[in-house]
Structure 1
């Protein structure tokens, strides 16, 4: 494919039509809205589907195993983004990657919507992981393509797009959670329908609204490279199939061993990334210093996400089994609590954005903002142990305690997550800018890989010890990071 200039791509997109933004933003906003609707709608009820008894419409898995699977699933979703980005850059182009990813996600939700076996459940997980890896990173990339680099609407466009993500995440748990009260498969069907609507919108409006955006393969494989890649991929799939055929019947490859394997991978991948970038001859001495500064930020991010992501595992279980679900005359579905995180982000994100602008040069440094993020994460776990400490772990808890815990961790998320994205673009070596962004998302993958092991220690008897230990460790790390922030700032070599 002949190279198309960035300006030609921008010129091919109708530049007015969606709140003063390019028409393509309409397509991408609602594609991501429905994708997130399907993802968070499915995730809100997935844990319950796994550990509820078969007589209750679930799979009857052990609850601890179910929480480990949820964590590993989340970890694999973030890891698969690396593959999805590579396929888009070298083979498909981002538009096709989005479309193929949406189809895989929809098929995965359809598989969940069919009453079946544990085997069918794992097939659905594979489809959703691969589909999300194809769609999620590439739809954001196309948003960037529809604006010129100097377009002053660019940041506002990403803010509108980000709002679509959170709106889908807010609405989905309310709908799928209510449907799951009748049947889990009804809830999963709604997730499949949501992705189907997103695909239809993408196909119908994409050609006219997106122009050439996402159609170009950034760095296409040569014919010789294609042969090698396809050969290696075929051999790799065959080897994996043979290993599974041997180890599964023999009892070596079990759910627990697979969880452990992904956990190891979640830790090794970031180490490999850091080592490769640091030792590369394309990395300058200044960039190496910035990579060193990035390491404590990365570790802090892993600790933060290890707590935040337990909102869909430990706190989801807490909502189901430890919380009063009859409150103020309302029958609360436990899945509804999954809407709190995106709801608080929608409300508070503009407040934090205003606050940083208002503070200007007086705002905290990047490491200090990370330390605040860790502090709030730790406090969110301290908050949720209080009712158990006061009334015992055998009594039901007022749901407002759970609401408060989700609220506090969102304060931390807004100190760390958007700041981390910005810091990653600033600290990344020039030769590895895209891969450093992949590294940032691997902090979440590593966190959830660790969670798959941590959640095994949670039960009603040691609830206070569990929340207290993790909360205190996070608070101690936040204090250490705050104290080290001037030193870290020095290694950043002028980045603020």
Structure 2
């Protein structure tokens, strides 16, 4: 494989900044579109939307986000076995852009076919996501030789790019969609993806060399063949149990966390006083808070863990802490509905949502040891792909469950009371889960058989690990 020879920038291969830009613009498109989706569906026909009920919009949102987490399993398999990561990124970018621009077609041009065209757009986005997701970040590590000390910092830089895109997109795409025209917002998302695609098409050959061109499956096939016939040891069985247990518990966290794009979005739009000195803050802007808090707090949380040294909580305990923070975020929203007192005409302070997002982001940062990083540390080699698929499956399931929960908000005057009950129920469920995990933590660590002690407590490496997982906004580390 030919390594890139284009030189360095700030001490790193220029290819890192190409991948940074590509992923930043892809996340710009996706998170901007996601911020608009539910609001667009519930907007009246007169206002350019579809006039769906909240339940219908959240149901579709859940199905869509579930597909977003399932399609990378197919796209990753195609990239590894047939087309390679580089071509997968290009094909994915084309499909992504096409999907956004299809959503951006004015309804006046497709009278009578509006919903069919809308579904085509979402289908193209799902397919593009399947090919694109994970393939960009998988190239970052290949820019560096084994043992290169710059590798840790590279992933920190790369995942900051993800957060930058996720922060900017609701501000720009959301504003255009809510305040100007829904279709302009979707078109802006497509333009963002086109920028990332153009970077790949024009600079990849120079900055990446042959990295990612050849499918990677044949490189590891021989090693895997030697392991297929060997039975699992007791340690491997115990570690597999940990993965399965944490996968199931993760559903509860993400089902709550993913209310951000659904029920929290509705609450921001309909029940929050968004007026600041005569300017009405678009509801979509609140979805920038998570990325902003990650950029601000990830180094702080990482430093806290490192300074704790041997007293640093184990992964299961961090998971329990994440559930506590999740519960606190929902209890803040319960408080907001109590201020309303069941009156849909009363709008509450924006600070309720700000603090809810803050607590949920703290939970996400505590959850950082969980995800594919956990799978990669604990899974038996011959079952690594299968167990990664299991984790993806449960993450996808949690997104559908999030929408199912949100649908109970109902319509009209009952929405405030129902929202309060949902927030309270999820908060209590999160606390109960936290207690169960905390009481089980020692046993789970025992079943890890030493893998829990493998973490590097170097500040730079720890910072990279924290951001690598939380930067994707889904608790999934794409660094393998």
TM exceeds 0.5?
yes
Q: What residue number does 2:299 align with?
A: 350
Deviation at 1:15, TM superposition (A): 7.4
- Which residue of 176, 180, 183 maps to 1:182? 180
Given that residues 393 and 463 in structure 1 are in contact (C-alpha distance below 8 angstroms), is that contact kept between their aligned partners in structure 2? no
Structure 1 residue 104 corresponds to structure 2 residue 101:
no
Aligned residue in 1 for 2:111: none
- Residues 14 and 24 in structure 1, CA contact (< 8 A), matched pair in contact too: no
| Aligned counterpart, 2:440 | 484
**How far apart in 2 are the matches of 1:280 and 1:67?**
45
Q: How many residues align?
A: 430
Task: Tell me: CA distance 1:119–1:280, structure 2 relative to 1, closer, same or farther (3 Å).
Answer: farther
Distance 1:60 1:281 in 2: 57
Tell me by how many angstroms 1:176 deviates: 1.2
In the other structure, the counterpart of 1:294 is 243
> Which residue does 1:374 correspond to in 2?
323
User: Structure 1 stretch 470-479 or stretch 446-455: which is displaced more?
Assistant: 446-455
Contact 2:102/2:118, CA 8 A, preserved across alignment: yes
Q: Is the 8 A contact 1:376 1:412 kept in 2?
A: yes
1:144 alignment partner, one of 138, 141, 158? 141
5 Å-filtered alignment, 1:247-396, equals: 282-394=231-343, 395-396=346-347
Counterpart Cα distance in 2 of 1:413 and 1:105: 27
Find out whether 1:36 has 2:27 as its counterpart: yes
| Match 1:440 to one of 381, 391, 397 | 391
Distance 1:203 1:282, change over 3 A: farther
In 2: Cα distance, 1:89 partner to 1:304 partner: 30
Shift in Å at residue 422 of structure 1? 2.9
2:50 to 43, 48, 59: 59
Q: Is structure 2 residue 163 aligned with structure 1 residue 163?
A: no
Cα distance in 1 for partners of 2:398, 2:34 equals 17
Aligned to 1:219, which of 213, 217, 220? Answer: 217
Match of 1:23 among 10, 14, 39: 14
The separation in 1 between residues aligned to 2:242 and 2:281, in whole angstroms, is 45
Runs of 4 or more above 4 Å deviation: 279-282
Does residue 417 of structure 2 align to residue 458 of structure 1? no
Supply the RMSD in Å over aligned alpha carbons: 1.7
Contact conserved, 1:306 with 1:447, CA < 8 A, in 2?
Answer: yes
The secondary structure found in structure 2 opposite 1:214 is coil
Stretches of structure 1 that go unaligned for 5 or more consecutive residues are: 1-7, 222-278
Aligned partners of 1:168, 1:466: CA distance in 2, in Å?
A: 31
Shift in alpha-carbon separation, 1:407–1:179, aligned structure 2, 3 A: same
TM-score w.r.t. structure 1 length? 0.84
Deviates more, 1:460-469 or 1:428-437: 428-437
Indicate which of 52, 77, 82 corresponds to 2:73.
Answer: 82
